[in-house]
Amino acid sequence: MANPRRVVVTGLGIISPIGSGVEPFWQGLKRCRSEVGRVSQFDPTPFRSQVAGEVTDLDVTDHLDERRSKRLDRCSQFAIIASRMAIADSALVLDQEDPNRVGVMMGTALGGVAHAERQHGRYMTDGFRAIDPGLALTVFAGAASCNLAIEYGVTGPNITNGMSCASGAIGIGEGFRTIRRGEAEVMLAGGAEAPLAPLCFGAFAIIRAMSTRNDDPTTASRPFDEHRDGFVMAEGAAVLILEERERALARGARIYLEIVGYGLTNDAHHMTAPRPDGTQAARAMADALNEAGVAPEQIGYINAHGSSTQLNDPTESLAIRQVLGDHASRIPVSGTKGYYGHALGASGAIEAAICSLSSTRGWFPPTVNLVTPGVGCDLPYIQGDGLDLTPEYLLSNSFGFGGINAALLFRRASQ
């Protein structure tokens, strides 16, 4: 692309099990401990896995009026609240923007499916007239991004992708590309997920993908550890405000990071297992570096997907080594899902927010619950109390069911 436009992150909105809002979330990171617990939103007793990362510090009525909140399922509530946080954090006045030049790119793995599951229970108990009249609109796959467009009256490019656990990162990557191509000036980009309902939860439990460390929930999510036994399902959301760099500087915006590269590939191998040789995950990372013209030895930090599963963690480590070679032995790596579990389609967006905050504040979080790295997990993972660091380039990986691989490359902000 000749003379591509530069894209920066100017606002963050975060909802997570370790804290909701920029400062509560940052304090959650600094505590360096997991907030995973036993599922409380339904009785998990029938399932092998009984732990999750739940959002407990968010009162929806503090952010949405009662009528509005009742018309939205939890996933869309998360999307709107996170977007409001992000807009406030960016000091962006959307009313003063050309609505045709502002768009939304969101991701979610399950969207409103958990809400639909609850409505099905009401239907079976009390009949057709008991279900939510807005059910069709909550299970609509594009609900997250369309609700945000309606909320703010923005009429630019709009997509909610459903590419499993990579969808939040894809939302950010596609938002980046939209501005880079000149199709928008501002994008609200990220992911939202509210999957904690019995059938949704049980679908992952039945394929033995989730941890069964029910007697010690806070150690259940343990990326790259030799005793990891599956991921921990979580809920949450993150929305990032992306802007064309020159206009952001002109309005005096605080810049967290610059997005400089994005890679997206598919393993074409298996719906749940990663390609064993890691080549397509590696290609996603390489594509992000190539787009930015960045050499492997320039990468100074990686936020790994680190799902805490037997197959993913060593395969990701292998893929990172394929791309970065010997330099991979010197790059600090965090697998942050040990803190909050795996919020499926929101995870990549939450981890992009972590990169943004850590780059600005010069401290990077540890890989919580990593005691002894497992076989094939042979990278220099950050442990203990985290690491003071000011890397120029940061890489964030997100991989998902269906063989989806997404990589985002960031550059430290230079005002």
Contact 353, 14 (CB under 8 A): yes
Contact 334, 316 (CB under 8 A): no
d(C-alpha 344, C-alpha 348), whole Å = 8
Kindly give the residue spans of alpha helices, DSSP state H, lying in 234-391: 245-250, 279-292, 312-324, 337-340, 347-361
Closest CA to 377 of 327, 323, 325, 329: 329
d(C-alpha 137, C-alpha 344), whole Å = 21
- Catalytic amino acids? 165, 305, 342
Closest CA to 242 of 110, 83, 394, 391: 83
For residue 301 the two structure tokens come to: 């930090």
Contact 234, 341 (CB under 8 A): yes
Which residue carries 């719906």 as its tokens? 271
For residue 376 the two structure tokens come to: 């094939």
Sheet holding 102-107, edge to edge: 158-161, 102-107, 186-193, 236-244, 7-15, 257-266, 404-412, 393-400, 299-303, 333-334
The string of DSSP letters for 224-262 reads: TBTT---B-BB-EEEEEEEEEHHHHHHTT----EEEEEE
Query: For 369-386, b where at least 16 C-beta lie within 10 A, e where not — what string?
Result: bbeebbeebbbebbbeeb
For the beta carbon of residue 84, count every other beta carbon within 10 angstroms: 17
Helix (H, G, I), strand (E, B) or coil at 173: helix
Helix (H, G, I), strand (E, B) or coil at 115: helix
Contacts of 210 by beta carbon, 8 Å cutoff, 6+ apart? 48, 49, 204, 230, 231, 232, 233
d(C-alpha 114, C-alpha 118), whole Å = 7
d(C-alpha 57, C-alpha 35), whole Å = 12
d(C-alpha 102, C-alpha 96), whole Å = 11
